[in-house]
């Protein structure tokens, strides 16, 4: 048999791929998996049923026959817990993984290998050995500027875990809304969650809602990183607990933004629905406020099984450098006291007394703006590490094209798919070891995104581009823009099956669903 050696449309592309004979799926094909991998096996069967209408039996029985999909757990391997192999050479799809997480990523790869010809549906032949470049592969959803409910967040988790993202960073609080209920400070959600940006409907998560999101993410092998953004981005606190806040500072940039977008200026104590940033701050060095901050972080940490809690720390433009430093020292220690690792936007790196080990999230440009590189490096110098979200390439809320109705442009936007794809994490911050970078994250701020259709339209296909940077080896033969644009071109059929909208970018010769 001769094999047509075409590159399968895998995104992110695996570390190693060789062509092999395909495995045709029929009504008697089964998904066989040990008890510990039943959930991954069932997910694959569900995805196949959804996509091609074939209901495969899922079983623990181990007498594999041609046409089956056969999961095995290889507990001997000492490689990455996320590693997996796929091999179709024996006439069935052999999937081997060290952990359920590896089996889950393998499952996503098998989904992308589904294809059909005159003889029906098959799993494209492959011998794959795969594991990720980075352990932290994040997407951020801003549920503060616009609120998205539990079911919407679950759809985001599904769409993003398909690209092997394993971190969901939830930006839970900002000037426009406080989205996580607090037992100790209930007025935050009672008084400061009702609206979203542009005057749209707001909302918040109860403890049960949040637990449901965390559990759903875990079932898709994603870790939730909750962010409570302090000391800036806290206008909501002026509505609920004004005693913990400073007076609103209306700087020129806020006035200019309000005029540009035709939005009202923030008023201390009243809900804010504009897009301005930097005008709000908690009080610094105030015992009651400090107690508020530590209590909120304690509550959030208790509700979060994952190892990280994000404290924000960005754009505190109305706070003096000294006050900011004092506050960050306190907030990073408050997170640490909960047993979690603190994560903060890179500005927090300028606080000399930042808690050692804090992870910095860099959001400057590929060519760092003055001072930003030093701030990012400071995290590493204090024993922490970095997650990179360069705004000019990884911000999914930048306009995809200049005339697109959604999105912003401040980070050198519009941001093309090629721009989102063509960058290298180790080329940004000089003077740090490559190992200091634990990963990459693609944030989606939702000032302009009012619906999940808006969210997905901004996210795809650029989230697929960033996913490949996070997962695939830097020197992989397919790690090129030409290869990526060809591979992603067939993804709309899966997106359509999942109800995921996308930007119909002219950079890609889309294969219609």
Interacting residues toward ligand TNX by CB under 6 A: 277, 314-315, 345, 363, 391, 395, 397, 408, 445, 447
CB of 424 to ligand TNX, least distance (A): 21
Select 104 or 363, whichever has its Cβ closest to ligand TNX.
363
Select 408 or 437, whichever has its Cβ closest to ligand TNX.
408
- CA dist., res. 390 & res. 425, Å (int): 9
Select 132 or 400, whichever has its Cβ closest to ligand TNX.
400
CA geometry: angle at 472 spanning 126 and 5, to 5°?
Answer: 30
**DSSP state letters, 166-232:** -EEEEE-EETTEE-B--SS-THHHHHHSSB-GGG-B---B-HHHHHHHHHHHHHTT-EEEEEEEESS
CB of 191 to ligand TNX, least distance (A): 22
CB of 175 to ligand TNX, least distance (A): 9
- CA dist., res. 162 & res. 51, Å (int): 14
**If we measure between CA atoms, which residue out of 83, 69, 86, 77 comes closest to residue 33?**
69
CB of 275 to ligand TNX, least distance (A): 8
Is residue 493 within 8 Å of 162, Cβ to Cβ? no
Task: Identify the residue whose tokens are 């991998």.
Answer: 37
With 0-12 / 13-18 / 19 or more C-beta atoms within 10 angstroms meaning exposed / middle / buried, residue 22 is: buried
Note if 418 is an active site residue.
no
CA 71 to chain centre: 27
CB of 12 to ligand TNX, least distance (A): 24
Which of these is catalytic: 40, 82, 315, 478? 315
Is residue 212 within 8 Å of 151, Cβ to Cβ? no
Is residue 245 within 8 Å of 238, Cβ to Cβ? yes
Tell me the Cα Rg of the chain. 23
Select 124 or 361, whichever has its Cβ closest to ligand TNX.
361
CB of 449 to ligand TNX, least distance (A): 11
CB of 172 to ligand TNX, least distance (A): 13
Select 100 or 140, whichever has its Cβ closest to ligand TNX.
140
Select 187 or 317, whichever has its Cβ closest to ligand TNX.
317
Q: Which residues contact 131 (CB under 8 A, 6 or more apart)?
A: 15, 79, 80, 82, 83, 84, 102
CB of 153 to ligand TNX, least distance (A): 18
Is residue 217 within 8 Å of 155, Cβ to Cβ? no
Retrieve residue 179's tokens.
Answer: 């989205």
Is residue 510 within 8 Å of 486, Cβ to Cβ? no
282 strand-pairing partners: 245
Select 87 or 397, whichever has its Cβ closest to ligand TNX.
397
CA 350 to chain centre: 25
CB of 271 to ligand TNX, least distance (A): 17
- CA dist., res. 417 & res. 431, Å (int): 29
Select 397 or 478, whichever has its Cβ closest to ligand TNX.
397
- CA dist., res. 190 & res. 203, Å (int): 10
- CA dist., res. 276 & res. 279, Å (int): 8
Select 316 or 336, whichever has its Cβ closest to ligand TNX.
316
Residue by residue, what is the 3-state secondary structure of 85-132?
A: EEECCCCCEEEEECCHHHHHHHHHHHHHHEEEECCEEEECCEEEEECC
Q: Report, as residue numbers or ranges, the catalytic residues.
A: 315
């Amino acid at each position: 048999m001769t094999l047509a050696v075409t590159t399968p449309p895998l995104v992110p592309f695996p570390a190693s791929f060789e062509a092999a004979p395909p495995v045709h799926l029929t009504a008697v094909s089964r998904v066989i998996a040990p008890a510990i991998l039943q959930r991954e096996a069932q997910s694959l069967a569900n995805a196949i049923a959804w996509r091609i209408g074939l209901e495969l039996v899922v079983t623990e029985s181990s007498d594999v026959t041609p046409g089956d999909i056969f999961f095995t757990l290889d507990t001997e391997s000492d490689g990455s817990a996320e590693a997996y192999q796929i091999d179709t050479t024996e006439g069935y799809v052999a999937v081997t993984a060290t952990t359920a997480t590896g089996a889950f990523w393998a499952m996503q790869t098998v989904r992308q290998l589904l294809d059909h010809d005159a003889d029906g549906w098959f799993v494209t032949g492959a011998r794959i050995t795969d594991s990720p470049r980075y352990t932290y592969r994040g997407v951020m959803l801003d549920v503060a500027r616009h609120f998205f409910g539990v079911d919407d967040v679950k759809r985001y988790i599904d769409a993003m875990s398909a690209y092997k993202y394993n971190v969901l960073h939830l930006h839970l609080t900002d000037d426009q809304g406080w989205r996580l209920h607090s037992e100790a400070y209930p007025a935050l959600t009672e008084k400061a969650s009702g609206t979203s940006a542009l005057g749209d409907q707001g909302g918040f998560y109860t403890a049960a809602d949040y637990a449901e999101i965390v559990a759903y993410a875990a079932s898709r092998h994603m870790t939730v990183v909750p962010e409570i953004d302090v000391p800036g981005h806290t206008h909501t606190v002026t509505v609920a607990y004004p005693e913990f806040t400073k007076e609103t500072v209306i700087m020129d940039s806020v006035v200019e933004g309000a005029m540009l977008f035709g939005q009202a200026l923030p008023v201390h104590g009243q809900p804010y629905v504009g897009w301005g940033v930097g005008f709000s701050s908690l009080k610094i060095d105030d015992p009651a406020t400090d107690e508020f901050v530590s209590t909120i972080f304690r509550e959030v940490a208790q509700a979060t099984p994952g190892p990280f809690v994000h404290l924000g720390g960005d754009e505190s433009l109305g706070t003096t450098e000294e006050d900011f430093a004092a506050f960050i020292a306190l907030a990073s220690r408050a997170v640490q006291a909960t047993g979690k690792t603190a994560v903060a936007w890179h500005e927090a790196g300028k606080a000399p007394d930042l808690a050692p080990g804090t992870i910095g999230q860099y959001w400057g440009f590929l060519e760092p703006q003055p001072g930003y590189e030093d701030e990012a490096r400071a995290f590493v110098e204090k024993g922490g590490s970095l997650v990179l979200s360069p705004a000019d390439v990884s911000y999914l809320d930048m306009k995809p094209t200049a005339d697109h109705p959604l999105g912003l442009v401040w980070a050198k936007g519009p941001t093309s798919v090629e721009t989102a794809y063509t960058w290298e994490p180790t080329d940004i911050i000089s003077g740090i070891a490559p190992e200091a970078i634990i990963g990459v994250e693609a944030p989606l701020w939702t000032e302009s995104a009012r619906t999940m259709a808006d969210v997905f339209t901004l996210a795809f296909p650029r989230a697929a581009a960033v996913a490949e940077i996070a997962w695939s080896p830097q020197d992989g033969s397919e790690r090129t823009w030409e290869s990526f644009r060809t591979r992603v071109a067939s993804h709309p059929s899966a997106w359509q099956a999942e109800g995921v909208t996308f930007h119909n970018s002219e950079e890609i010769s889309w294969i219609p669903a």
